[in-house]
Structure 1
Amino acid sequence: MALLAKQASDRAEKGDTVIGWKLDREQRKELLQQFPPKYSEVVADHVTLAAKVAKKAELPCETEGEIIGRSDDGKGVEAMVVRLGGTTDRPDGSTYHITWSLEKGRRAKESNDVIRDHGWKPLEMPMPVQLQPARF
């Protein structure tokens, strides 16, 4: 059974899995052309809902979102802010995002800090994005 994102996050027991959404592979190619990555390591893979959850945690049901903004610390972390179900707020208090690109030595989980510390700039037009509920 698929649940709304908040319900899936709230019901998830502790563990070592991540639940969220994978980007549609075909659309990913188009998005990378539209938003060229700034740094050498291209990620552009997924949106996290909840980390450190049990393998049996139920997946969210949403399959569509919108890329509405971009964040960059200017030092090697670039992320796209995503709106899901009308909000950018993840249940854990952070922001829904896609780590877009990284410089060598930087890690995807730093995107949360970059968005929190540097904020983000809205895109002129939101970009619809197809998402596939996933466990990774």
Structure 2
Amino acid sequence: MDLSAKEAATKAGEGPSVIGWALDRDQRAELLQQFPPKFVDVVADHVTLAATASPDAELPSETLGDIVGRINDGEGVEALIVSIDGTTDRPDGSTYHVTWSLEKAKGRRAKESNDVIARLGWIPIDLPMPIKLIPRRWP
């Protein structure tokens, strides 16, 4: 069954799984050249839809998105902002993004990207970059 991101998030239930999209591995290498990471620990692997989903939650059907912005807090967290189905707004009220790079030595973690975006907003890039998204579940 084809589910929009909003429908998949609404039906995700509660549990220990994460649902969202993995970046295409071949395109990831290209993106790392287009958007050189600012910090030493490169993450650049997925976009979260629901962080506390049921293990049997259905996956969203979208397979395309656009990188539309970027944020770097200057203190160890960098993220790329993603538009999916025409919006950057995740159904939980946060923003679709890919945590791009971190300073783990400073204790920074990927989940801090949401807080950084909420606190600082984000900067649009000049030309949106289309990306392939692979619906995925993480245990």
TM-score range, shorter chain: over 0.9
Pairing of 1:1-136 with structure 2 (within 5 A): 1-104=1-104, 105-136=107-138
Quote the Cα distance in structure 1 between the aligned partners of 2:134 and 2:67: 15
Quick one: percent identity of the two aligned structures? Answer: 66
- Provide the TM-score with structure 1 as the length reference: 0.98
Q: What amino acid is aligned across from residue 37 of structure 2 in structure 1? A: P
Q: What amino acid is aligned across from residue 22 of structure 1 in structure 2? A: A
Q: CA deviation at 1:13?
A: 1.1
Deviation sequence 1:43-78 (CA, Å, 0-9, x none):
000000001111100000000000000011110000
Q: What amino acid is aligned across from residue 68 of structure 2 in structure 1? A: I
* Length, aligned pairs only: 136
- Provide the TM-score with structure 2 as the length reference: 0.96
SS at match of 1:128: strand
Q: What amino acid is aligned across from residue 7 of structure 2 in structure 1? A: Q
SS at match of 1:48: strand
Could you list the runs of 5+ residues in structure 2 that have no partner in the other structure?
none
Q: What amino acid is aligned across from residue 127 of structure 2 in structure 1? A: M
Quote the Cα distance in structure 2 between the aligned partners of 1:69 and 1:48: 16
SS at match of 1:39: coil
CA contact (8 A) 1:2 1:58 kept: no
SS at match of 1:122: strand
Quote the Cα distance in structure 2 between the aligned partners of 1:129 and 1:108: 20
